[in-house]
Amino acid sequence: MTSSGALNIQNPHSEAWTKVRERLRSEYGEATYNSWLKNIDLETISNGHVTMSLPTKFLRDWVINNYANRIRQIWCLEADDIQSIDIHVKESPETALPDNTVETPAATRNQNVRPISRTGSADAASNLKSQLDARFTFDNFVVGKSNELAHAAARRVAEARDNIPFNPLYLYGGVGLGKTHLMHAIGHALAENAPDKKVLYLSAEKFMFRFISALRYKDTMTFKEQFRSVDVLMIDDVQFIAGKESTQEEFFHTFNALVDQNHQIIISGDRSPTDLEGMEERMRSRLGWGLVADIHPTDYELRLGILQSKVEQAAISIDPRILEFLAHRITSNVRELEGALNRVLAYSDLVGRAVTIESTQEVLRDLLRANDRRTTIEEIQKRVAEHFNIRMSDMHSARRARAVARPRQVAMYLAKQLTSRSLPEIGRKFGGRDHTTVMHAVRKIDELRESDISLSEDIDLLRRMLEN
């Protein structure tokens, strides 16, 4: 939370804008950010509507199609009063772009024809390293059930010398679950252990961008040669080129050429090869040729492990209950989980007080609500009723028989733990009960968990089901 205070005095939104940009940079990475997002200018903010601009129509359309949603979400997170955004093409035609932006032909051309370091292995390795996020190493990757296959496969590929274990390695999973992290980790390991190998890592988006500029500058030979001469090619987020025919075609040829030479290809996607709509059938089947490893959503233990490892790395002391709270409540993905931890730490740094559950809830109100949307009280009631074999209507009924009262208490307990609803709100959802009844249920179950192992296991099981 270090933003320009001076700007802040003039315009309360410039600080939010700085944060939006920081966040975009960290979510999409340096490369994407520099190519597409860096040139966005903030124009005006009024009545909850943000207007931004980009210098060309091409850039604007691209950003609208690919990033607008996320940009809007981030704005809403950073500034409470923002509801909508718009990006238009900057008015003045003479607006010159800085030299290093994507639309400058000279820069594009340079980027396009720059050889993939042939000047020696040390260079190649450092060139590779400069494209990788230094934090994304195997050492920093916490392994759990949901990602152990992907992790083991990535290690295997990173350690292979001449025998390629499987080709391609296809990693897939939802957003923020560690695909990019694993690919960078492979890159780091190769730069260390096999500095003589030519390794190229880039997003499918960048691949497409380079291909398009190669076409534009009639330089496809260089392009082909660059990509076909690498020992290891990593393409991140391949779903991006689904539906983009000529890029796919080119990718297909690159792919075949590398496989023919027995060079390693590693690809990530947000879904399995067979589910890649808009991808040609021959490409889909080829992507599934080697090893397909999926990364599942995290479970509670892994989330807690990741938080602990972050805290350890940063040598920060924090009440372990806060970490447990975050691991329970931020279930969407690891990126959000990390973001939540950072926000909590930044807050405590700022106010100079230790973090408490209350302050955490306060600081993360928006995030917690967003994560809650996945677990509703109704869903909790339904699952719990099914599990204990009672009727859903018993969640609301006045019946006090233990066989229904206990499951009802369990549901209240889980509602308190897994959602950010207040006690009165929860009470209302349980047939209009008083908040003291909910409080009593929460205490009671807490107490029982200590002595009743089978109840405790039931609750853990239900929680896991509800969190995923």
Residue numbers at the binding site for Mg ion (CB under 5 A): 179-180
How many residues lie near ligand ADP (CB under 6 A)?
17
Which among 408, 422, 407 has a CA at the least distance from the CA of 372?
A: 422
Write down how long the chain is.
Answer: 468
**Site residues for ligand ADP, window 9-68 (CB under 6 A)?**
none
x/- track of binding to ligand ADP for residues 100-139 (CB under 6 A) = ------------------------------------x---
CB nearer ligand ADP, residue 230 or residue 306: 306
DSSP 8-state class, residue 51: E
| 247 sits near ligand ADP (criterion: CB under 6 A) | no
Strands 49-54 and 84-89: parallel
Contact 335, 363 (CB under 8 A): no
| 210 sits near ligand ADP (criterion: CB under 6 A) | no
For 225-234, letters b (16+ CB in 10 Å) and e give ebbbbbbbbb
Which among 168, 191, 183 has a CA at the least distance from the CA of 236?
A: 183
Interface residue with ligand ADP, options 334, 368, 426, 459 (CB under 6 A): 334
| 179 sits near ligand ADP (criterion: CB under 6 A) | yes
Q: Find the residue with minimal CB distance to ligand ADP.
A: 178
Return the percent helix, strand and coil in the chain, to nearest 5.
Answer: 60, 10, 30
Stretch that binds ligand ADP, among 34-42, 58-66, 168-176, 379-387 (CB under 6 A): 168-176
Interface residue with ligand ADP, options 178, 273, 297, 407 (CB under 6 A): 178
Which among 279, 272, 266 has a CA at the least distance from the CA of 294?
A: 272
| 74 sits near ligand ADP (criterion: CB under 6 A) | no
Stretch that binds ligand ADP, among 60-68, 117-125, 174-182, 253-261 (CB under 6 A): 174-182
| 335 sits near ligand ADP (criterion: CB under 6 A) | yes
Stretch that binds ligand ADP, among 171-179, 212-220, 363-371, 458-466 (CB under 6 A): 171-179
Stretch that binds ligand ADP, among 14-22, 55-63, 330-338, 363-371 (CB under 6 A): 330-338
| 279 sits near ligand ADP (criterion: CB under 6 A) | no
Enumerate the β-bridge partners of residue 233.
200, 265
387: CB partners within 8 A, 6+ apart: 407, 458, 461, 462
Q: Find the residue with minimal CB distance to Mg ion.
A: 180
* Alpha-carbon dihedral angle through residues 355, 359, 360, 363, given to the nearest 10 degrees: -120
How far is the C-alpha of 78 from the C-alpha of 17, rounded, in Å? 8
Considering the complex, what minimum distance in angstroms separates the CB of residue 364 from ligand ADP? 17
The pair phi, psi for residue 136, each rounded to 5°, is -85, 70
| 306 sits near ligand ADP (criterion: CB under 6 A) | yes
Interface residue with ligand ADP, options 13, 35, 54, 176 (CB under 6 A): 176
Interface residue with ligand ADP, options 21, 181, 197, 303 (CB under 6 A): 181
Q: Which residues bind ligand ADP (CB under 6 A)?
A: 136, 140-142, 147, 173, 175-181, 306, 334-335, 338
